[in-house]
Amino acid sequence: MTASANPAKNKPVLTAAALALLLGAVACTPQPTPPSSSDAAPVPSPLGSGSPASSGSGQQPTTAAPPPAATPPRAPGKGTAPLGWGPQQRDEAAAAAAVASMTLSEKAGQVLLPFYAGLNHEAQAATVERLHLAGSMIMGDNVPRAGDGLVDVRSMTAATGRLGAASRSGGRTWPGLIGVDQEGGLVARLGAPLTGWPSPMSYGAAGSVPLATEAGKGLAAELATLGFTVDFAPDADVTIGPADPTIGARSMSADPRAAGNLSVGFSRGMLAAGVLSAVKHFPGHGSVTVDSHKDLPVQKATVAQLKARDWKPFQAAVAAGSPMIMAGHIAVPALEPGVPSSLSPASYAALRAMGFKGVAVTDALNMGAVSARYPRGSAAPAALAAGADLLLMPADVNAAHAAIVTAVAAGKLSAARLDEAVRRVVTMMIWRGRTKPAQLNALPGSAGSVSARVSARAVTVLAGQCRGPLVPGRLRVTGGTAPDRALFAAAARDAGIALGAGPLVTLIGYGGVPAGGDIAVALDAPWPLAGSSAPTKVALYGRTPGAFRALLAVLAGKATAPGKLPAAVGPYRQGSGCP
């Protein structure tokens, strides 16, 4: 059944005030340490070797049975340090003055961040100017490419520069929002020659907040050089494992505390490079079983259960001072049944009750969970009325802009609520323009060594021996994609391993099924290893050149596998791996 296009007609289970009272203790309630983590566990240094010395016998069971007592995952750190985000009164005053002088049409534009099709950046710039838009998103089909298929860095920089200039038309003095989805792993709109990054689950396997911070800075510095001001990352969702069809290895950990600390660390690195982060997807997308790109997931957990798991990383982000938090398209009956959280007053009240002062941004409004239920731009004023400040990728930006103007004129969206949203967005951008660090001039690919170090620290052996060569100087490879096998072959040559004979290595990519052979390697989420019949099982969490070099170094016995499972995989408990 289609939900009403006006969430105000759907009476929430709890009023915003009542919900705030209920959740008021969230910010000051001590967070118990999950049974699977240890406050006393050391935090590995990101500057150490990719193959630290290992204690113990160096042997793991070679059958599918789990170790008798899995090593608990290393705690990524006790508490989080502030991100450095914090607009001052002068930023807020400047934003308030700017908003007071805006027309209704200008205000409607400042809360919209649209997408567009193809490479006609000039046409998009004209739309940004005409509708007074906050900026623009860059998707995969907007990325200019050279003849060899690589990103045309010069043309991409020119495009972001033109869009940024358009967002400052009409006398606006603050930088525009030039956004992209660049998490690493499967979610990466910009490829080579920019640095390729493994899946975010790598940070959970590596167990180091400083390394996550270094990675966030390296990734964002290259984006900043190309003219991007915001990256919709990191993903702070807590995955429940293979029943989670959307997040998977985009999640840093199944441990809420680890997911929070690591995502805050990654955000800290992004902000240090001058790129705004957006922690996503509140109220938590890792524990629902429907993909919101296709339909509306329903989160059946109680508020108490959400506070104990899914909301903990977002509470960490709030405590650290995150500039943006993204609201996902997830219905939570305990808050407001049948309404996506991105359009639910009760959900935004829950987020604000945590103490969040930044910009609440919706997930893309053209996704299936919203687009079919809120036609003709109606999702835009509904989301604003619910408490959103920035509306990401409406299906039709012209219709969304018109719907906002009409809703205010008709009294269906209060002018005060729109003004509040615009002030938050403009305050954020004024702060970013004032505090942006000196241009780092990070060349595309300059963070390759950091990416490789992440994979070297993350690679995890679930079954098989932990020390010494896993192959006798030669091997065969199957599975994966043609590029996967090509990268594997190049890394094998570098490691001195011949191809064409010997043990069979099976590469399992995204959505792969359990496989046999002698050595099974999961390149994305590690779930397929649970049912693999291979006597040796390795979780790699990535398919970058650095990830394959890390894998071949372990197979050749030139490095150990220091990673620990950040989520349970069948019989292998969270924290499993070589000692």
**Angle, to 10 degrees, between the axis of helix 209-225 and the axis of helix 256-272?**
40
State percent of the chain over pLDDT 90. 80
More confident residue, 250 or 50: 250
pLDDT score recorded for residue 83? 79
Q: Which two tokens stand for residue 483?
A: 């590029």
pLDDT digits over 157-203, tens only? 999 999 999 999 988 999 999 999 999 999 999 999 999 999 999 99
Q: What confidence tier does 536 reach under pLDDT thresholds 50, 70, 90?
A: very high
Mean pLDDT, residues 271-286: 96
Residue 475 DSSP SS3: strand
Taking alpha carbons only, the member of 135, 189, 116 closest to residue 359 is 135
Taking alpha carbons only, the member of 46, 119, 63, 72 closest to residue 455 is 46
User: How many angstroms separate the Cα of 384 from the Cα of each of 58, 219, 378, 397, 447?
Assistant: 57, 31, 10, 15, 38
Mean pLDDT, residues 327-347: 96
pLDDT score recorded for residue 157? 98
| Mean pLDDT of the residues in the chain | 87
pLDDT score recorded for residue 114? 98
Taking alpha carbons only, the member of 329, 443, 435 closest to residue 382 is 329
User: How many angstroms separate the Cα of 197 from the Cα of each of 180, 265, 485, 568?
Assistant: 15, 16, 18, 23
Half-sphere exposure of 267 (CA within 13 A, CB side): 35
Residue 492 DSSP SS3: helix
Mean pLDDT, residues 317-344: 96
State percent of the chain over pLDDT 70. 85
pLDDT score recorded for residue 439? 67
pLDDT score recorded for residue 81? 43
Q: Name the catalytic one among 293, 419, 494, 518.
A: 293
Residue where the block lists tokens 């170790």: 67
Q: What confidence tier does 31 reach under pLDDT thresholds 50, 70, 90?
A: very low
- Classify residue 524 by burial, with Cβ atoms within 10 Å: 0-12, 13-18, 19+: buried
pLDDT score recorded for residue 359? 98
CA of residue 207 relative to chain centroid, distance: 17
pLDDT score recorded for residue 437? 80
CA of residue 244 relative to chain centroid, distance: 15
pLDDT digits over 265-278, tens only? 999 999 999 999 99
More confident residue, 87 or 25: 87
Separation of alpha carbons 541 and 547, rounded Å: 8
Separation of alpha carbons 156 and 149, rounded Å: 13
Query: Which element (helix H / strand E) includes 331?
Result: strand 331-332
Q: Which two tokens stand for residue 376?
A: 């003709």
pLDDT digits over 141-156, tens only? 999 999 999 999 999 9
CA of residue 496 relative to chain centroid, distance: 36
Q: Name the catalytic one among 231, 235, 255, 363.
A: 363
Q: What confidence tier does 528 reach under pLDDT thresholds 50, 70, 90?
A: very high
Domain ranges of the chain: 168-435, 448-555
Alpha helix locations (H) across 207-249?
209-225
Taking alpha carbons only, the member of 141, 154, 160, 153 closest to residue 230 is 160
Separation of alpha carbons 373 and 356, rounded Å: 28
pLDDT over threshold 50, residue 219:
yes
Separation of alpha carbons 205 and 54, rounded Å: 16
Separation of alpha carbons 362 and 391, rounded Å: 5
pLDDT over threshold 50, residue 306:
yes
Give the least confident one: 5-9, 458-462, 549-553.
Answer: 5-9
Provide the CATH number for the domain formed by 168-435 in this structure: 3.20.20.300
* Identical fold, 168-435 and 448-555: no
Tell me if 5 sits within 8 A of 326, measured CB to CB.
Answer: no
pLDDT over threshold 80, residue 107:
yes
CATH classification for the domain delimited by 448-555, as one of 3.40.50.150, 3.40.50.620, 3.40.50.1700, 3.30.390.30? 3.40.50.1700
pLDDT over threshold 90, residue 8:
no
Separation of alpha carbons 190 and 320, rounded Å: 28
* Torsion sign, CA atoms 462, 464, 465, 470: negative
More confident residue, 158 or 440: 158
Taking alpha carbons only, the member of 565, 568, 555, 429 closest to residue 498 is 555
pLDDT score recorded for residue 372? 87
Separation of alpha carbons 528 and 407, rounded Å: 49
Is position 363 annotated as part of the catalytic site? yes
| SS3 per-residue string spanning 66-121 | CCCCCCCCECCCCCCCCCCCCCCHHHHHHHHHHHHCCCHHHHHHHCEECCCCCCCH
Task: Please give the order of strands across the beta sheet that includes 324-327.
Answer: 279-282, 324-327, 359-362
Residue where the block lists tokens 């009403």: 4
Alpha helix locations (H) across 436-468?
448-458
Q: What confidence tier does 513 reach under pLDDT thresholds 50, 70, 90?
A: confident
Is position 295 annotated as part of the catalytic site? no
pLDDT over threshold 60, residue 384:
yes
pTM for the structure as a whole = 0.86
The amino acid sitting at 543 is: R
Taking alpha carbons only, the member of 267, 211, 187 closest to residue 234 is 267
pLDDT score recorded for residue 441? 80
